[in-house]
Every structure is written in structure tokens, then in C-alpha cells.
Chains A and B, each alone.
Chain A
Amino acid sequence: MAQAKKPNGGKDNFTRNLVIAVVVGVVLIMLVPTVLSKKSDTTAAIPSSVSVEDGYGMVFNKELTGVPFIEIYEDFQCPACARFESISGEYIEDLIKTKKAKVAFHMLSFLGSESQLAANAAACSADQGKFLEFHKTLYANQPAENSGAWSTQYLQTLSLGLGISSPDYDKCVQNQDYLGWVKNVAEEGAKRNVNSTPTVYINGKEIDRNKAYNSLAEFMLAVEKA
């Protein structure tokens, strides 16, 4: 090579080995904490409606037995989740209010940082008893993925329309109080092999991917049969 100055091959090897060591070292330094942070943090703060034994889901009608158990894995930024919400969301809300089903919402965040912000804010709204309203409103206002629309400020402003007046909500959104929970939910979803969103289980069995996600009638049928 043109730039070889030293007649001594050992010197060149030193440069090469140094470059390799630096690259591999830096990548390892980034990888190790990342792998460790992927473990569930059992000390993370969780809203009172979250049930650890139900995979950190946001559970409604937890005390009911003998009713269908609907588990929903979703990401606030996922368009198919917004579609599912607009098709079957109202029905699910009715089931909760009339105590005809136990429902667990798992807010995943695989689409990135705005999903995490939104999931954290959803947990904050749960503390104010407004999770279902927040859930519906956020999907109704879904922007393009990670376009910067869902800032902490935006999520705080949303509270006005939901009738949340407590400053605790604003603080919770600002400080991302439930970020640990957001990561734990994601981790549980990964362990359960949830590979697309939305994924909905009724009594532990996934609903028919070809039918029940896009049709209210089919979804109602699946709930009735359970």
C-alpha cells in the first residue's frame, strides 16, 4: 500500500489490531447495558390498575370470574391498531362498563420513542381514571409514525379535552414516571411472542387473524363463543 512508511510489518499490525479492538470494544460497551436493560425491572412504578401477573397489562374488571378475558397487545402509533379501535373499541368499552368481560390492555412501544411517550401518558391518565377516554382520543388523533407530533406538551394538552385537571398528570407525563412500566410491558409482550399489533387473545387464544380484527360482527361472535 502506498502509505506504508515503515519497513517493519509489526507496526502495521499494531494499527490494525488497535482499530479492531476499538471497534469491537465500543460496540460491546454499547451492547452490554442494552442487553441488561432488557430485563424486567420489578421495582418500576406501576399504575394501580396494572396487574403484574397479567403481564403488566392495564386490567379492567379484574375481580370478575366466569366472563371472557380479552387481552389486547397494541401500539398507539400502529395504524392497524387504530383501525381495530375504530371497529371494535366501543364494543370493548361497553363490555367493560357492563361488566361482561375482563379486559387487559398491553401498550407496546416497538414503533419507537413516541410510542413510549404515549404509553407512559396512558398510564398517567389511568391514575386519573381516564385510561379508556385517553386510549380512544389518542387513536382518533393518530399522526404519521414518529413525526414528532406526540410531544410531552401535546400529551399534556390532551388532558384538557379529557377532563383531567390534576397537575399530577402533567408531572407524570413530563417526568415519564411510568417509563419502567412501559419497558416491562414491552418485555412481557416479547416473552409472549407477540409478533404483530394488534394481537388480541380471548381466554388465552388468539382471535382469527383473517376475520376478527377487521369486522365487529366477527369479533363479537368470538367474544360470545368464549
Chain B
Amino acid sequence: MSKFSKAQPWLGLIARLVLGGVLFAAGYLKVGTLDKSQMAVRAYELLPISIANFLGVFLPFFEIAIGLLLILGAGTRIAAALGGLTMVVFIIAIAQAWARGLNIDCGCFGGGGAVEPGQTRYLQEILRDAGLAALALFLIRYPLTKFAVDKDPNRSNAGDVE
């Protein structure tokens, strides 16, 4: 067994808990103030208002669901793919706001909406989301991890991983 194959399930566990934890926290912090969440999505000026308002309500629940599945390790590959896709969408949304010179907070963990010029943190927000997207990629490639509900279909009776 190579060093990597020994470490991989543990690395995967960390990736799952970090990505899942961040998604769950992001959703949980927004779910109590949905008016503000809707405002945050509208402030990107990317979608028609009615769709932005729907997304402002939908997104916190979606993040909580994906976050929980990753923390539990249930359907890891699909959950990681959806989480990673979400991050890519966030990166695109933030990048376009930056490029168009909007002055908004990403609203990633509650908050959001217009901020004073000079108060934006687009680069940090994009780097953070890129890091999380990388964790998602790792989990898509290696979805079998420690302490997960998911089992290795080839080794369900082996009591060991790879």
C-alpha cells in the first residue's frame, strides 16, 4: 500500500468535513434572514429579479442539504460535485461583479448587498471558493473516505479501505 492510498481516506475525511462544514454554516447563517439572502442575490445584478428572489430562498436550504450529506459522507461523489459546481457558479458571479465594478459583499455567510467602494473583498472571496472547489474535485476523484456512510462497493465485506 502506497503512502498516498493510506492517507487518501483521511485526507478525504478532512476535505468532506471542511467543504461540508463551510456549506452547512453558509446555509445555516442565511436561513434565518431570507429577505437579506434574496437581497444579496439581487445585488449581483445577474439574474431577472423574480429568479434572483427564488434563488435567495432556495440556496440556503440547498447549501444545508449538501453540507449535511458531505459531513455524513452519504452520496459523497454527487454531493461533492454539486458543492463544487456551486463554488464555480459563485466564482463566476463574484468575478463578473468585480469586472463590472459593482460594490457588493458576496453574501456568502449572510450579509450581502451593496457596500461602500473600497469595502469589497473579491479576491479573498474568489480564492476561498477556488480552494473549496479543489476539495470538491478531490472528493469527486476519491469519494471513499473514513467514517462515511458510503461504502466501497467492491470491498463491503473487507473491513478495510483500498
Hey, which bits of chain A sit against chain B, CB under 8 A? 1-2, 4, 6-9, 12-13, 15-16, 19-20, 23-24, 27, 30-31, 34-35, 38, 108-112, 186, 190-191, 193-196
A23/B65 in contact, CB under 8 A: yes
Would you list 8 pairs from A and B whose C-beta atoms are within 8 A, ordered by A residue?
A2-B159, A4-B158, A4-B159, A16-B151, A19-B69, A27-B61, A35-B54, A195-B39
- The B57-87 residues at the A interface (CB cut-off 8 A) are 57-58, 61-62, 64-65, 68-69, 72, 74-75
Report the Cα distance A12→B156, complex, angstroms: 8
Q: A1-B161, A27-B61 are in contact. Are A16 and B156 (CB under 8 A)?
A: no
Instruction: Please report the C-alpha to C-alpha distance between residue A194 and residue B52 in the assembled complex, in whole angstroms.
Output: 12
Asked whether B127 is an interface residue with its Cβ less than 8 Å from the other chain, the reply is: no
| Cross-interface CB contact of B157 among A4, A19, A190, A193, cutoff 8 Å | A4
Complex formed: what's the CA distance from A12 to B155 in Å? 11
Cβ A7 vs Cβ B156 within 8 A = yes
Query: Which partner residue on chain B sits nearest A199 by CB separation?
Result: B114
Tell me the B residues contacting A by CB distance below 8 Å.
32-36, 38-39, 42-43, 49-50, 53-54, 57-58, 61-62, 64-65, 68-69, 72, 74-75, 113-114, 146, 148-153, 155-161
- Cβ B113 vs Cβ A20 within 8 A: no
List residues of chain B with CB within 8 A of the CB of A195: 39, 42-43, 113-114
Report yes or no: B33 in contact with A4, Cβ–Cβ below 8 A. no
Give chain B residues whose Cβ lies under 8 Å from the Cβ of A2. Answer: 159-160
Tell me the bound Cα distance from A109 to B38 in angstroms: 12
Report the minimal beta-carbon distance from B30 to chain A, rounded to whole angstroms: 11
Cβ 8 A contact of A23, one of B49, B68, B157 = B68
Q: Which residues of A contact B150 (CB under 8 A)?
A: 16
A196 and B43 CA atoms in complex are apart in Å by 9
Asked if A6 and B157 make an inter-chain contact with CB atoms under 8 angstroms apart, the answer reads yes
Do A196 and B65 have beta carbons less than 8 Å apart? no
How far is A129 from B124 in the complex, measured between Cα atoms in Å?
A: 50
Among B62, B64, B149, point to the contact of A15 (Cβ < 8 A).
B149
User: A30–B155 Cα gap in the complex (Å)?
Assistant: 37
- With both chains docked as a complex, state the minimum distance between the C-beta of B103 and any C-beta of chain A, in angstroms: 10
**Other than the known A190-B49, A190-B53, A193-B49, what 20 A-B pairs have Cβ atoms closer than 8 Å?**
A1-B146, A1-B160, A2-B159, A4-B157, A12-B156, A13-B153, A16-B74, A16-B150, A16-B151, A19-B149, A23-B72, A34-B34, A38-B53, A38-B57, A110-B35, A110-B36, A194-B39, A195-B42, A195-B43, A196-B43
